[in-house]
Amino acid sequence: MGERLQLETCEAYLALPESGKGPGVIVLQEWWGLVPHIESICDRLAAEGFVALAPDLYGGQSTKEPDEAGELMMSLRVEETATKLDSVVAFLAGHEAVTSAKVGIMGFCMGGKLAMYEACRSTQIGACINFYGVHPNFEPDYASLQAPLQGHFAEHDDYSSPKVVDELDVLLTGLGKSFEFHRYAGAHHAFFNDTRPAVYQPEFAKLAHDRMVSFLRTHLD
């Protein structure tokens, strides 16, 4: 179990491994907010040996209602959120428990898009993981991406559709970027979220978890 703490620009949830030290990973929320599911992902990463930090991008707000979640997501201001993400990256990169030269960043749904956005801006990111990321107002400058990228995408997804994933694949290939995309046949958007029985698919979630942990261990020293 981790703890809530106040950073310079936002509150966050921090989970430490049993050893007390490890590579740093930032976990960015879905459109619901910094909810127990996101905290549990930090706990799982800590159990794998990582120092995991999840910032609260909504200033204490969260919801279980899709309409309200959409409103909260769309209320994020690009410049303000970018400043917040920069501050979070700097905090974790400088944390005494972090042993990696750079930190990883990952996110789910809205957070997946924001993870790519920040990875294209920061030189302190050593690995980026995108789970079916979507946000219409944040457009990463993929030409500036330096960190290796891993993507996880569902076959049945109206938000991060196979067509959108195909287009991103072509773009990143053309730019000569280091990336790997994993597509899950039969999966639905948010298949990793074990608090949503309607969409959670444990066989895909376990496979994605194993892949993300291996990726982080490979790229964060």
**Catalytically active residues, by annotation:** 109, 157, 189
DSSP H helical segments within 16-161, as ranges? Answer: 36-47, 66-74, 78-93, 110-119
Dihedral of CA atoms 154, 160, 162, 168 in degrees, nearest 10, equals -120
Q: Render the burial of 90-114: b for 16+ CB within 10 Å, e for the rest.
A: ebbbebeebbbebbbbbbbbbbbbb
Instruction: Return d(Cα 43, Cα 58) in angstroms, integer.
Output: 21
Please state the φ and ψ torsions of residue 40, each to the nearest 5 degrees. -65, -35
Encoded tokens for 122: 């920061």
| Spatial contact of 25 and 216, defined as CB atoms under 8 Å apart | yes
Q: What angle do CA 75, 89, 181 make, to 5 degrees?
A: 80
